[in-house]
């Protein structure tokens, strides 16, 4: 590696050299903010005799002494493309200005010194060689294109227009002087002696703001020769970048896609900032053939990832509707699982009806859990391993069984739980997306004519208003009035849909039911919506009517978000159960336990107790000094302390009491798991064979 202090104008003036931006680099993305700041720095340097130089950072490139076909030296820029490209645009704007004032000599000097290699073939003339779209933009602003306007979008065009509009007779010479004072650290790498990827990572860690996807792209492509780089980029990575996108916001989802892919492969969800490192560990770069094995799978799955994010691309209407619902509910944690299921559907492993039923079951599972307020972090763990539990010969049933077999915080809520939750749940003050989803699905169940709530004038209406007129209290009485306002106002029984929310306002129920102002039929009795169908028959609106309507909607809810009607045989139950749902461990032996997806071959509760405490203490020792834990487990540095009857070491310095019965040990494990927020991370399986043997011996009088 060679590093020198170099003037930028001298660097750009190097003869017969191209400055190539490789395909693995991120796009040129400097905005006008950065351009204006750079120009201000240049003007300040050029306008002051006291400033002899202005430092603009570093430019790092690989110098392989490789020559392109035209005989030009090719420098591959791995850091500094934003500055180098922007300064090139300033020179293009200066060239354009010199031409506009008729100074052909000056224009010719700028053009041949900083912008082109004069004797190279036309297709190789430009000194700066950006990636495809930006290269087309640079050719356009230099007049190499016959197009009247640039087709597509590139920041090069926007930034060039800014510089062109700013340069004038008053500042032209000042900008020239300022450019001649710009210096940078010129870092030249030799691929045979240096490790460009390692240097690039070091640059990134000191402030180069790249996404995880940028780092992965560089990691995959940087080690390849130019021909293979172009091949891999166009055949695979360009497809990935094109598809891994949220088209509503035009935002890249490549980092999220690869995170979901790694979750699928590793059965572990990487932190958002560790995706690159996890990818690097999982797929050490090797031959191009090895790379392609990974990229082929990524290229296949990203097509389905695209449809999960942008359901409009799914041609089948029935599937598209369900994808839109899943997208609206933001069930992103299911994407690792759904990508593989989608691929199976596409390849004919499952038919359309099974795929639609699976999408409906996911919605039922997630929305029922939302209704009960069950923890959402449990979903990560569930969907992370769910695909492995699929029996391809019995696809839908095996999927539904896997969800129904879960217990505790991971459970599929039963009908009775759902009905009870609907009676009390505030379903008005929830996310707008969730509320719209709820009412749209309820309204459209078995409807022949589909009604979109999201894209219409329909809004959620309180039948008993949020701010009722005083007549309501007179009609209901103060006790019932207060009860409804405090307990039932935002429950499902008191909510409906209306396109006349403003007109209905805070009026009494009868007025709302009958309203026909100016013959426009605003009242409930005129509504064609299912949600309002029964309202025309009510003669009053109070606690009794709200409860009745809640029952009606609950019955419909259980059909829309149905519990799968799959029989769970005893053979399907492997006996693993969350410790919070397990029976007391009196006179019981363990067969094993599963902690953070790792099988622990412990048969005694006492050993499980010590193992769990040891692992959590190693993970986060500070938490154990909280009063609710330290006093309960009797954490101590002194094994001879009076309060420790049977001390057991949990690390080199600390001991805990182990002279506790099995029920007490279970209780303490649960306390610690709750404090850590790991209620879903410990499953146990009792050894039923040993238990049966003990019972038989007791019956025979041998114990």
Residues 98 and 181 in one domain: yes
Kindly provide the residue ranges of all beta strands, DSSP E only, lying in 587-658, ordered along the sequence.
590-595, 598-600, 647-649, 655-657
| Cα separation, 166 vs 162, whole angstroms | 6
pLDDT digits (tens, 9 = 90+) for 327-373: 999 999 999 999 999 999 999 999 999 999 999 999 999 999 999 99
Confirm if 403 and 361 have CB atoms less than 8 A apart: yes
Cross-strand partners of 116: 126
User: Strands 590-595 and 598-600, how do they pair?
Assistant: antiparallel
In percent, the amount of the chain with pLDDT more than 90 equals 50
Cα dihedral 86, 90, 91, 97 in deg (nearest 10): 160
Quote the tokens at residue 101: 């004032």
User: Is residue 122's pLDDT more than 90?
Assistant: no
Residues 261 and 331 in one domain: yes
The pTM for the full model equals 0.70
Least confident of 144-148, 249-253, 466-470, 526-530: 144-148
Q: Is residue 206 part of a domain?
A: yes
* Full residue range of the structural domain in which residue 202 is found: 2-210
> Which of 164-173, 182-191, 442-451 is predicted most confidently?
164-173
User: Is residue 279's pLDDT more than 50?
Assistant: yes
Final residue in a domain of this structure, among 210, 240, 259: 210
Quote the tokens at residue 34: 């950065």
| DSSP state at residue 536 | G
Give the per-residue pLDDT at 699. Answer: 46
Whole-number average pLDDT of the chain: 87
Each residue of 636-657: b (16+ CB within 10 Å) or e?
A: beeeeeeebeebbebeeebbbb
Q: Is residue 216 part of a domain?
A: no
Least confident of 64-68, 456-460, 469-473: 64-68
User: Is residue 209's pLDDT more than 50?
Assistant: yes
Least confident of 75-89, 195-209, 317-331, 435-449: 195-209
User: Is residue 193's pLDDT more than 80?
Assistant: no
Residues 401 and 444 in one domain: no
Mean pLDDT of the region 572-590? 79
User: Strands 182-189 and 245-246, how do they pair?
Assistant: unpaired
Residues 555 and 578 in one domain: no
| Cα separation, 675 vs 664, whole angstroms | 17
Residues 380 and 237 in one domain: yes
Q: Is residue 430 part of a domain?
A: no
User: Is residue 24's pLDDT more than 80?
Assistant: no
Residues 322 and 391 in one domain: yes
Give the per-residue pLDDT at 515. Answer: 86
Q: Is residue 565 part of a domain?
A: no
Give the per-residue pLDDT at 243. Answer: 96
Mean pLDDT of the region 87-110? 95
Residues 528 and 593 in one domain: no
| Cα separation, 60 vs 81, whole angstroms | 9
User: Is residue 702's pLDDT more than 50?
Assistant: no
Residue in the structure block whose two tokens are 């590093």? 3
User: Is residue 252's pLDDT more than 50?
Assistant: yes
pLDDT digits (tens, 9 = 90+) for 430-441: 999 999 999 999
Mean pLDDT of the region 54-60? 86
Q: Is residue 137 part of a domain?
A: yes
Q: Is residue 201 part of a domain?
A: yes
Q: Domain count for the chain, please give it.
A: 4
Residues 551 and 578 in one domain: no
| Cα separation, 366 vs 372, whole angstroms | 10
| Cα separation, 354 vs 395, whole angstroms | 8
User: Is residue 568's pLDDT more than 80?
Assistant: no
Final residue in a domain of this structure, among 182, 210, 238: 210
Final residue in a domain of this structure, among 210, 237, 255: 210
Residues 384 and 251 in one domain: yes
Residues 136 and 199 in one domain: yes
Q: Is residue 598 part of a domain?
A: yes
Residues 312 and 404 in one domain: yes
Residue in the structure block whose two tokens are 């492509």? 221
Give the per-residue pLDDT at 189. Answer: 81
Residues 196 and 237 in one domain: no
pLDDT digits (tens, 9 = 90+) for 615-667: 998 888 888 888 778 888 888 888 887 678 888 888 888 888 888 999 988 99
In percent, the amount of the chain with pLDDT more than 70 equals 92
Q: Is residue 406 part of a domain?
A: yes
Q: How confident is the model at residue 570 (pLDDT cuts 50, 70, 90)?
A: low
User: What is the greatest pairwise CA distance in the chain?
Assistant: 115
Q: How confident is the model at residue 67 (pLDDT cuts 50, 70, 90)?
A: low
Give the per-residue pLDDT at 175. Answer: 95
């Amino acid at each position: 590696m060679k590093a020198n202090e170099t003037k930028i104008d001298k660097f750009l003036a190097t003869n017969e050299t191209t400055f190539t931006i490789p395909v693995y680099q991120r796009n040129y993305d400097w905005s006008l903010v950065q351009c204006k700041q750079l120009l201000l720095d240049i003007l300040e340097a050029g306008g002051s005799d006291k400033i002899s130089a202005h430092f603009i950072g570093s430019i790092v490139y690989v110098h392989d002494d490789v020559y392109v076909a035209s005989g030009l030296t090719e420098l591959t820029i791995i850091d500094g493309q934003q500055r180098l490209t922007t300064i090139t645009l300033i020179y293009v704007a200066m060239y354009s200005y010199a031409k506009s004032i008729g100074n052909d000599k000056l224009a010719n000097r700028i053009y041949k010194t900083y912008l082109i290699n004069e004797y190279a073939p036309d297709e190789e003339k430009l000194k700066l060689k950006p990636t495809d779209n930006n290269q087309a933009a640079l050719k356009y602003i230099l007049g190499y294109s016959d197009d009247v306007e640039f087709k597509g979008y590139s920041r090069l065009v926007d930034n060039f227009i800014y510089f062109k509009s700013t340069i004038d007779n008053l500042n032209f010479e000042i900008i020239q002087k300022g450019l001649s004072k710009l210096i940078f650290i010129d870092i030249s790498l030799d691929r045979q002696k240096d490790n460009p990827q390692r240097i690039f990572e070091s640059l990134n860690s000191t402030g180069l703001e790249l996404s995880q996807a940028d780092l992965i792209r560089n990691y995959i492509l940087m080690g390849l020769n130019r021909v293979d780089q172009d091949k891999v980029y166009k055949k695979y990575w360009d497809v990935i970048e094109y598809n891994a996108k949220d088209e509503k916001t035009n935002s890249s989802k490549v980092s999220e896609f690869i995170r979901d892919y790694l979750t699928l492969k590793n059965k572990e969800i990487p932190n958002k900032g560790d995706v690159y490192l996890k990818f690097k560990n999982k797929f050490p770069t090797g031959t191009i053939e090895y790379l392609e094995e990974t990229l082929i799978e990524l290229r296949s799955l990203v097509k389905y990832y695209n449809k999960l994010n942008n359901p409009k691309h799914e041609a089948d209407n029935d599937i598209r509707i369900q994808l839109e619902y899943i997208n609206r509910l933001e069930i992103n944690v299911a994407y690792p699982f759904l990508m593989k299921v989608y691929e199976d559907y596409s390849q004919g492993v499952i038919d359309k009806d099974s795929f639609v039923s699976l999408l409906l079951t996911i919605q039922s599972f997630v929305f029922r859990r939302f209704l009960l307020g069950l923890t959402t972090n449990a979903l990560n763990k569930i969907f992370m391993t769910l695909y492995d539990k699929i029996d391809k010969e019995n696809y839908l049933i095996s999927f539904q069984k896997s969800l129904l077999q879960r217990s505790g915080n991971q459970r599929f809520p039963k009908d009775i739980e759902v009905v009870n939750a609907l009676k009390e749940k505030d379903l008005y003050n929830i996310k707008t997306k969730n509320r719209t989803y709820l009412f749209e699905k309820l309204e459209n169940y078995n409807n022949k004519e589909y009604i979109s709530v999201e894209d219409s004038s329909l809004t959620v209406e309180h039948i008993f208003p949020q701010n009722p007129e005083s007549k309501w209290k007179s009609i209901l009485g103060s006790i019932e009035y207060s009860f409804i306002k405090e307990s039932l106002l935002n429950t499902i029984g008191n909510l409906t849909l209306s396109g006349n929310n403003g007109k209905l306002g805070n009026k009494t129920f009868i007025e709302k039911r009958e309203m026909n102002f100016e013959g426009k039929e605003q009242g409930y009795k005129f509504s064609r919506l299912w949600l309002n169908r029964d309202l025309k028959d009510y003669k009053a609106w109070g606690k009794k009517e709200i409860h009745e309507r809640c029952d009606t909607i609950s019955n419909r809810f259980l059909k829309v978000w149905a519990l799968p009607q799959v029989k769970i045989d005893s053979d399907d139950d492997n006996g693993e159960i969350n410790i919070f749902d397990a029976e007391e461990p009196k006179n019981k032996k363990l067969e094993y336990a599963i902690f953070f997806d790792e099988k622990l071959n412990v048969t005694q509760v006492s050993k499980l107790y010590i193992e769990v405490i040891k692992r959590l203490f190693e993970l986060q020792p500070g938490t154990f000094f909280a009063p609710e834990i330290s006093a309960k487990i009797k954490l101590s540095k002194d094994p001879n302390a009076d309060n420790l009857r049977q001390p057991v070491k949990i690390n080199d310095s600390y001991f805990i009491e182990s002279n506790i019965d099995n029920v007490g040990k279970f209780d303490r494990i649960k306390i610690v798991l709750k404090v850590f927020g790991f209620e879903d991370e410990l499953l146990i399986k009792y050894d039923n064979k040993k238990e049966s043997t003990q019972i038989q011996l007791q019956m025979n009088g041998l114990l």
